[in-house]
A and B are shown apart, each in its own frame.
Chain A
């Protein structure tokens, strides 16, 4: 797998067209690493001139900010901005809607202004430019529903790019009763990923998984590593793992193409 780092690029006097911001989940979480690799495979196949920061990447600061720790957030943000600006980064793609939202919306005021796209948006433009083709392959005829990540959907009004990609897979895209602007959160946002939920009568990811189970999909597609974890746990907790698979859109496209 060809994964050039910015340091290597710099040493060779090269500049990538786009920086792939992997994110903490994409770097360390076993499930999310598969998404990272699937996305890189597509980038390689499409001959995208990209690079990663590798060991120079650090948490975007999103969970600290949403937990209320503005100090820690801004320390992370400014340290990251120094690195990004030193490498003269112009465009960033990430498979994590939380990193996406933070870098896109909250970094500019702190001195970091970049064109930031979510990986589904980049994949969509690669498709439009004819650099990748999407065929159903092994997913042909399957029933797929898309769970809108809050930080992609409501937070940044991106609803169509992921859906257009799914539809190219020659599958049946079915919507949950709560979708798009009405989509229900998976329960991980706002730093909830890192703590137990407050006292209640149900876990949010179960409530959301039940939305999906209602329409009996073969696959729940997501575009966020945290949603992926929550939905995967939800499917397990409701004993549906033999019937429903949870996959990122990048995985759908890469797997369909047997990458």
Chain B
């Protein structure tokens, strides 16, 4: 019967990791529903971006308070999780603090973990205060109502609880406290349990230990359903981000072929249309499967911090557009399409699409393409790319541009300028 703990632990671990693998598969499958786009060029610049922006958090500190606190939580999260290695070994083999043979170095490690755990706890409490007491506006935009708001709070509570359990588990570890080295924070918690017998202390310690590791596994599986996915996806997202100048929009290749054909004087005007696969089924995007996989990965990476929306000129002046909402709606629709495929084996038309059912033309037309959202995003998400693709669909597939833009485009077609002026008057300014 001595092994019952270890077996229970092994089962817990297998279930936890098994579900996580299943979710990762679902996630990659959904991302691959996107169109192909080549982002394998220039690996050097891509690795550098990933190192600087995801690992180095260089864009986070543009807003210093949130940036510094985030770095503490991020570093704490990574370092404290080294302790999970020990927990897993202990859990599987019934050892206790298996790494303690490292002696002084072990105590140094645990001391660092304790300090970080404390700092993380403090930072997370400040984060909560910023959200709920200071009510920083970008956390209260209308797209944050309901689950998005709660999601953010669940994550903060999770982190608070996990860090507290880690400190509690150390504080009630009689042997560890006895060493009186490495318990740099937990020694101040230990007196709380002064009256406890060693046996009761052991029960508290074991309980904290079990809830802690179970909590970690639950949290791991919560990721897929949460905005917190950014802790994983920030890395590929920054790696595959656009490397071109932000002002450069893609040129649609299918259109290039067509325009070249139109301008070629040698082409036979009576020839049948070529039946190759270069002609796309539609121009632009009206649903998630028309977007490319980087745009879909962007949607899963978004952690809904709202820096984009708070810097968006349209949003600041009360327009319907919010770049964050564009990303959130894309993810919601992608999830819906994914569920549809899970249920039916393949996608069965559900009479819905990203355009109109999630993102309205009013949002799409409010964008000034100023790139403030792209510049702001701490993990290089590009909401503008989605907006432009949807405009392309509205204009090229549906001829549904706002009336004034139709006039502007007619003018360009007729007289080579967005206004009604004669081409032949272009140089009049010289003599005016």
A residues whose Cβ falls under 8 Å from a Cβ of B? 1, 3, 5, 22, 24, 26-29, 33, 36-37, 52, 54-55, 57-59, 61, 63-72, 74-76, 78-79, 82, 101, 104-106, 109-110, 150-151, 154-157, 181-182, 184-185, 187-204, 206-208
Give bound CA distance, A53 to B425, whole Å: 12
Given contacts A67-B405, A185-B370, contact A202 B317 (CB under 8 A): yes
Given contacts A61-B412, A67-B391, A200-B319, contact A187 B283 (CB under 8 A): no
Nearest CB of B to A190, in Å: 3
Q: Name which residue of chain B comes closest to A185, CB basis.
A: B370
Partner of A72, one of B248, B316, B369, B413: B413
Given contacts A71-B396, A105-B248, contact A194 B319 (CB under 8 A): no
Nearest CB of A to B393, in Å: 8
Partner of A76, one of B256, B412, B426, B430: B412
Cβ-defined contact, B392 with A70, below 8 A: yes
- The segment from B181-189, B257-265, B297-305, B350-358 that touches chain A is B257-265
Q: Name which residue of chain A comes closest to B247, CB basis.
A: A155
Cβ-defined contact, B362 with A199, below 8 A: yes
Cβ-defined contact, B251 with A187, below 8 A: no
Given contacts A63-B418, A200-B317, contact A68 B388 (CB under 8 A): yes
Cβ-defined contact, B249 with A106, below 8 A: yes
Given contacts A27-B429, A74-B251, A105-B247, contact A69 B368 (CB under 8 A): no
Return chain B residues, CB-CB under 8 Å to A3: 427, 430
Nearest CB of A to B63, in Å: 10
Return chain A residues, CB-CB under 8 Å to B412: 59, 61, 63-64, 72, 76
B241 interfacial by beta-carbon distance below 8 Å = no
* Chain B interface residue number, banded: 35 or more
B233 interfacial by beta-carbon distance below 8 Å = no
Cβ-defined contact, A69 with B256, below 8 A: no
Cβ-defined contact, B430 with A197, below 8 A: no
Cβ-defined contact, A196 with B404, below 8 A: yes
Cross-chain pair count, CB within 8 angstroms: 218
B206 interfacial by beta-carbon distance below 8 Å = no
Give bound CA distance, A222 to B186, whole Å: 59
Give bound CA distance, A105 to B263, whole Å: 22
Return chain B residues, CB-CB under 8 Å to A75: 259, 262, 413
Cβ-defined contact, A189 with B425, below 8 A: no
Q: List 28 A-B contacts (CB under 8 A).
A: A1-B430, A27-B421, A27-B427, A37-B429, A55-B424, A66-B249, A67-B405, A68-B390, A68-B394, A68-B396, A71-B255, A74-B252, A104-B245, A106-B248, A110-B251, A150-B370, A150-B371, A154-B246, A154-B372, A185-B368, A192-B368, A197-B314, A198-B366, A199-B319, A201-B317, A202-B316, A206-B317, A207-B317
Cβ-defined contact, B418 with A189, below 8 A: no
Return chain A residues, CB-CB under 8 Å to B427: 3, 5, 27, 52, 54-55
Within 8 A of A (CB), among B263-299: 263, 283-284
Return chain B residues, CB-CB under 8 Å to A155: 245-248, 371
Given contacts A185-B368, A198-B362, contact A69 B319 (CB under 8 A): no
B residues whose Cβ falls under 8 Å from a Cβ of A? 244-249, 251-252, 255-256, 258-260, 262-263, 283-284, 311, 313-314, 316-321, 362, 365-372, 374-375, 388, 390-396, 401-402, 404-405, 407-409, 412-413, 416-419, 421, 423-430, 432
Give bound CA distance, A204 to B393, whole Å: 26
Given contacts A71-B396, A155-B246, A197-B319, contact A24 B313 (CB under 8 A): no
Given contacts A22-B426, A55-B426, A154-B372, contact A70 B255 (CB under 8 A): yes
Return chain B residues, CB-CB under 8 Å to A5: 427
Q: Name which residue of chain B comes closest to A32, CB basis.
A: B429
Q: Name which residue of chain A comes closest to B389, CB basis.
A: A68
Give bound CA distance, A157 to B248, whole Å: 12
Mostly, the B contact residues are: helix
Partner of B401, one of A59, A67, A150: A67
Return chain B residues, CB-CB under 8 Å to A72: 409, 412-413
Return chain A residues, CB-CB under 8 Å to B391: 66-68
Give bound CA distance, A142 to B256, whole Å: 50
Given contacts A59-B416, A68-B394, contact A194 B405 (CB under 8 A): yes
Q: A24-B416, A27-B417, A59-B412 are in contact. List 18 more A-B contacts (CB 8 A).
A: A22-B429, A55-B424, A59-B416, A63-B418, A67-B391, A68-B388, A68-B394, A69-B401, A79-B263, A106-B251, A150-B368, A154-B372, A155-B246, A155-B247, A157-B245, A184-B313, A194-B405, A201-B318
Cβ-defined contact, A78 with B263, below 8 A: yes
Partner of B314, one of A33, A57, A182, A200: A200
Cβ-defined contact, A28 with B417, below 8 A: yes
Nearest CB of B to A81, in Å: 10
Q: Name which residue of chain B comes closest to A100, CB basis.
A: B247
Give bound CA distance, A157 to B244, whole Å: 11
Cβ-defined contact, A55 with B423, below 8 A: yes
Return chain A residues, CB-CB under 8 Å to B371: 150, 154-155
Give bound CA distance, A206 to B317, whole Å: 9
Give bound CA distance, A206 to B318, whole Å: 13
Q: Name which residue of chain A comes closest to B362, CB basis.
A: A198
Return chain B residues, CB-CB under 8 Å to A182: 311, 372, 375
Cβ-defined contact, A188 with B368, below 8 A: yes
Cβ-defined contact, B368 with A187, below 8 A: yes
